[in-house]
């Protein structure tokens, strides 16, 4: 039997562990790596929250912008222009927070010679929008056309002012559900006689469309009226006077909306988007970035942006701009060409002609 072979001492391993210094160095390195990873993950979560809030508010304001501009482009469609003493105006009233237009949008097409309800707004019926309650804007009659009155407003309780009472009103429920104290509800109302086939019933039910911010020191007006001479109306002087409504050549719509959920830093981000009716404007970004009938918003400022801003007018695929239809003239004694837009979704081309 052969004896076991003994290896030299230099080839024999001696059991030993890590020294305390090695363990401390390893823990420090691991701690630095973990801290770096946690910082990156925390920043990613914050960015995701802010981006989600931004997208949410952008989608909301875009949808509202589409609906408002759709109605404005149809202003005057089917209006009673044959009432000589005071033809039915395309724009019935406009101030910084609301606009009232006349357009035969319901039903479409209205082929009934005697018109199908809702009919034109009845000034003697109920309910009545505040701007038309015994004011210079009140229609002299219930016009003979089927062009109903369409109202976009923040004054959901119909008291003539936009304040906290509008948030507490029944139609302000959406604003009360959010954590954002600047939220107000933008509503669409349709007033027309014989709503529900009840004579004297003007309808006026509210359709809650979006949460937007009330115009103020750092929030631009929702509506801006531009006259034919290129000047704009100063809202510090009140609404556009009844005598000057026929001079309106365009209305700029600019909605400011913030997310209902706060960012990690406590701010409420959101877009500020605008469009003009009926004039064309140029999209401030490249045409390839535009999508049809969509206002594209871009972040401005430094740091955490609480709002974003853009100004676009019905951008198209090719030139990123388009011309909307102008309202028909209501004045007499002059001759001018005009064209009107049929309601959205109609395949019928808009009527064109010459007014005298």
Look at 297 and 108; give whichever has higher pLDDT. Answer: 108
Q: How far apart are CA 328 and CA 213, in angstroms?
A: 32
49: confidence class by pLDDT, cuts 50, 70, 90: confident
- Residue 269's pLDDT band (cuts 50, 70, 90): low
| Residue pair 203/196 in contact by the 8 Å Cβ criterion | yes
Neighbours of 347 (CB within 10 A): 5
When pLDDT is averaged across residues 15-42 and rounded to a whole number, the result is 90
* pLDDT at 347 (0 to 100): 38
Distance from C-alpha of 297 to C-alpha of 58, rounded to nearest angstrom? 8
Q: Judge contact between 95 and 245, C-beta under 8 A.
A: no
Please count the structural domains in the chain.
Answer: 1
Is 56 inside any structural domain? no
pLDDT in tens, 299-352: 222 222 223 333 333 222 222 222 233 444 433 333 233 333 334 444 343 433
**CA dist., res. 139 & res. 86, Å (int):** 9
For residue 288, the enclosing domain spans: 71-329
pLDDT mean over 15-30: 88
Kindly state whether residue 57 falls inside one of the protein's structural domains.
no
Please check whether residue 64 lies inside any domain of the structure.
no
pLDDT class of 79 with cuts at 50, 70, 90: very high
Q: How far is CA 148 from the centre of its chain?
A: 22
- Percent of the chain exceeding pLDDT 90 equals 50
In a domain, 111, yes or no: yes
Q: How far apart are CA 139 and CA 132, in angstroms?
A: 8
Least confident of 81-90, 272-281, 305-314: 305-314
Question: What pLDDT score does 23 carry?
Answer: 92
Task: Answer whether residue 22 is part of any domain.
Answer: no
* Position 214 in a domain: yes
Beta bridge partners of 142: none
Give pLDDT, residue 349. 39
Compute the mean pLDDT over every residue in the chain, rounded to the nearest whole number.
75
């Amino acid at each position: 039997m052969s004896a076991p072979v003994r290896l030299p001492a230099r080839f024999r391993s001696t059991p030993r562990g890590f020294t305390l210094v090695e363990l401390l160095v390893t823990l420090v390195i691991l701690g630095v790596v973990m801290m770096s990873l946690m910082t990156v993950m925390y920043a990613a979560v914050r960015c995701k929250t802010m981006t989600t809030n931004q997208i949410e508010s952008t989608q909301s304001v875009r949808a509202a912008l589409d609906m408002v501009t759709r109605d404005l482009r149809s202003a005057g469609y089917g209006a009673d222009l044959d009432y000589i003493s005071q033809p039915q105006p395309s724009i019935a009233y406009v101030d910084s927070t609301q606009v009232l237009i006349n357009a035969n949008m319901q039903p479409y097409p209205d082929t009934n010679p005697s018109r199908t309800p809702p009919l034109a707004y009845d000034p003697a019926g109920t309910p009545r929008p505040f701007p038309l309650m015994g004011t210079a804007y009140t229609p002299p009659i219930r016009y003979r056309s089927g062009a109903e009155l369409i109202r976009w407003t923040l004054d959901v309780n119909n008291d003539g002012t936009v304040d906290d009472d509008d948030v507490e009103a029944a139609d302000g429920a959406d604003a009360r559900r959010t954590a954002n104290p600047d939220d107000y509800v933008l509503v669409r109302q349709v007033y027309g006689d014989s709503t529900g086939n009840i004579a004297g019933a003007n309808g006026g039910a509210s359709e809650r469309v979006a949460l937007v911010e009330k115009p103020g020191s750092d929030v631009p007006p929702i509506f801006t009226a531009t006259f034919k001479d290129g000047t704009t109306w100063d809202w510090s002087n009140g609404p556009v006077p009844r005598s000057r409504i026929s001079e309106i050549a365009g209305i700029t719509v600019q909605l400011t909306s913030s997310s209902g959920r706060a960012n990690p830093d406590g701010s409420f981000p959101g877009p500020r988007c605008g469009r003009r009716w009926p004039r064309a404007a140029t999209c401030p970004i490249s045409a390839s970035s535009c999508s049809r009938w969509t206002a594209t918003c871009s972040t401005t400022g430094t740091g955490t942006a609480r709002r974003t801003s853009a100004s676009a007018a019905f951008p198209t695929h090719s030139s990123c701009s388009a011309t909307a239809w102008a309202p028909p003239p209501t004045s007499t004694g002059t001759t001018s060409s005009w064209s009107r837009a049929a309601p959205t979704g109609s395949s019928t081309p808009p009527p064109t002609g010459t007014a005298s």
